Amino acid sequence: MRDLKRTSSAWIHETIGDKEFEWQDGYGAFTVSASLVETVKSYIARQDEHHHKKTFQEEYLEFLKLNGVEFDERYLW
């Protein structure tokens, strides 16, 4: 993740010109079964629209709870 975040940050700074862009500390990852790939692609394509209805934080908490991940919200944000 460290290498991915470093490389993508450099690309954003150099290609897009957003010198202030930075990733948040930490990360989360979820796997997707092959049968849901098209659903996930559709979700990604509509992500801007989707986040007008539900914030990233609300959705992330929902994913954690749905997948039985134990967490302490003090350390998420």
In order of 8, 36, 71, 77, the CA distances from 74 in angstroms are: 27, 31, 9, 7
In order of 17, 29, 35, 72, the CA distances from 51 in angstroms are: 25, 18, 24, 23
pLDDT in tens, 17-56: 999 998 888 777 788 899 999 999 998 898 888 778 888 8
| pTM for the structure as a whole | 0.54
Q: Is the pLDDT of residue 6 over 80?
A: yes
